Amino acid sequence: MPWNEIFLLGRRKSKQPCEPGASGAGEQHTLQDTRAAIEELSQAVRNNPESVEIYLALGNLYRSQGEIERAIHIRNSLIARPGIDPALKARSQFELGRDFRRGGMLDRSRQAFEEASVVLGRTEEIELELARLAADSGEFERAAEHYGRMGRALAQAHFLARQAGEHFRLGDAVLGDKFLKQALTVFPASPEAWLASVVQATVSGNIELLRVSLKNACANIPAPQRFLLLEGLLEALSAARVDNGGGTGAKALEPSRISELVQASVQVLSTFPPDTLLCYYCAKLCLFEADLESAKHWLEKSLVLNADFWLARLELVSLVLTDQDLTHFLRDQMAYFISHARKSKRFVCQACGFRWDRTFFVCPRCRSWHSILFRQEFS
């Protein structure tokens, strides 16, 4: 029986009826499916011990279940088998590299992938695995090289920007600028690279550089992704208020310099055609400096553009709450509601629906690049 049919047989055998409404029923079905497939493949191996493909499939199932030692044992037994076809041996080494990576053995994983590439060549599969290994090891420049060989400019720019950030953190602005230029040459719309440029200008207190970087960033980054830049700008301004700048090695900036940075940012953003998020972040910048009247103005503009933008409405309610003649009890209830509503996850992956309260460039669930959106409408 072909091994792919064994998978289907395993799924059919595992479908037992479950109690309606039982907790975790979907997860239980998945576990049963995998275990049934493992049993069928194990039986197929006993019946046909020479079938390398079945061994590979069984090892993959063990890895998916987290049984790394069993998966590694299967790969090693195949690699040591005398007379095995070189291509199948290389495929076993490739899967062994994946096993090692899943088990956290990064050096051994890289070695296995390199050995597989001797026969298989530098395929995109191998380049991708090596790129992920380099990224996991903090070798961002090497990761960028691997993505560059695959022609993935977006990911290449991402890791060049991260390498630039490392140099900025260590105080080497020359090397940091060099890697940023490389990133923007590879992918001019890279929000990661522009963000690194804006953050560096902010924590160093360079107002003119911030103006230029922020203007060029907003001109090059697609409007739906600008919030990634502006979220980072607010974080950098917060970091500039304390010594060591959130790990950047920078000293705290004078309050007057921070005010100038905020004013410069709002002035630059005001030159672009208004959109809902741009107005919202202008309001957030004004709130950063406790400029409540300007913040109200920008929040109202944001709601004119999108009356259903829940977060702008929430901030506006919070601002006008102090002007209302409310009982102490009602004021406390409103404050409680607002504080908890602010904790709602603002960011969502448009590819898989994953929600998070922090920005991300790669979805933690489905690994999609730049799939993040700001949830403007509350649901």
Average pLDDT over residues 101-107: 94
Q: Which has the minimum average pLDDT: 163-172, 277-286, 327-336? A: 327-336
> Do the beta carbons of residue 72 and residue 36 sit within 8 Å?
no
Q: How many CB atoms lie within 10 A of CB 86?
A: 10
pLDDT at 61 over 50: yes
- Biggest CA–CA distance in the chain, Å, is 87
User: What is the C-alpha separation between 109 and 98, in angstroms, rounded?
Assistant: 7
Chain centre distance of CA 362: 3
Q: What is the pLDDT of residue 52?
A: 75
Decide if 168 is inside a domain: no
Question: Which of 3-12, 39-48, 190-199 reaches the highest mean pLDDT?
Answer: 190-199
Q: What is the pLDDT of residue 19?
A: 39
Q: What is the pLDDT of residue 10?
A: 40
In 3D space, the residue among 138, 185, 118, 121 whose CA is nearest the CA of residue 157 turns out to be 185
CA dihedral 197, 202, 207, 209 (to 10 degrees): -10
User: What is the C-alpha separation between 179 and 199, in angstroms, rounded?
Assistant: 15
SS3 273: coil
For residue 50, count CB atoms less than 10 angstroms from its CB and return exposed for 0-12, middle for 13-18, buried for 19 or more.
exposed
Q: Which has the minimum average pLDDT: 27-36, 209-218, 259-268, 304-313? A: 27-36
Q: What is the pLDDT of residue 191?
A: 96
Decide if 206 is inside a domain: no
Q: Which has the minimum average pLDDT: 23-27, 106-110, 204-208, 271-275? A: 23-27
Domain containing 96 equals 3-17+24-121
What's the structural domain count of the chain? 1
Higher pLDDT, 77 or 234: 234
Q: Which has the minimum average pLDDT: 1-5, 167-171, 233-237? A: 1-5
pLDDT confidence bin for 30, thresholds 50/70/90:
low
Q: What is the pLDDT of residue 34?
A: 62
Average pLDDT over residues 366-375: 94
pLDDT at 249 over 60: no
* CATH code for the domain of 60: 1.25.40.10
Average pLDDT over residues 186-214: 96
**Which ranges constitute the DSSP H helices of the chain?**
3-14, 25-47, 52-64, 68-79, 86-102, 106-120, 124-136, 140-149, 153-169, 173-186, 191-203, 207-220, 226-239, 255-270, 276-288, 292-305, 310-320, 328-341
Decide if 370 is inside a domain: no
Q: Which has the minimum average pLDDT: 62-71, 76-85, 298-307, 321-330? A: 321-330
Average pLDDT score over the chain: 86
Decide if 127 is inside a domain: no
Quote the tokens at residue 107: 């050096």
User: What is the C-alpha separation between 356 and 347, in angstroms, rounded?
Assistant: 5
Average pLDDT over residues 158-181: 96
pLDDT confidence bin for 46, thresholds 50/70/90:
low
Average pLDDT over residues 157-173: 96
Q: What is the pLDDT of residue 98?
A: 95
Percentage of the residues of the chain whose pLDDT score is greater than 90: 65
> Do the beta carbons of residue 143 and residue 134 sit within 8 Å?
yes
pLDDT confidence bin for 244, thresholds 50/70/90:
low
In 3D space, the residue among 123, 58, 62 whose CA is nearest the CA of residue 90 turns out to be 123
pLDDT confidence bin for 28, thresholds 50/70/90:
low
pLDDT confidence bin for 251, thresholds 50/70/90:
confident
> Do the beta carbons of residue 199 and residue 180 sit within 8 Å?
no
Decide if 164 is inside a domain: no
pLDDT at 100 over 90: yes
Q: What is the pLDDT of residue 9?
A: 41
SS3 372: strand
SS3 67: coil
Decide if 137 is inside a domain: no
> Phi/psi of residue 361, each to 5°?
-100, -25
356 φ/ψ sector (left φ>0, alpha ψ -120 to 50, else beta): beta
pLDDT at 295 over 80: yes
In 3D space, the residue among 346, 344, 340 whose CA is nearest the CA of residue 281 turns out to be 346
pLDDT at 375 over 60: yes
Q: What is the pLDDT of residue 136?
A: 92
Q: What is the pLDDT of residue 26?
A: 53
pLDDT at 235 over 90: yes
pLDDT at 78 over 90: no
Decide if 80 is inside a domain: yes
Rounded to 5°, the CA angle 202-207-209 comes to: 80
Decide if 69 is inside a domain: yes
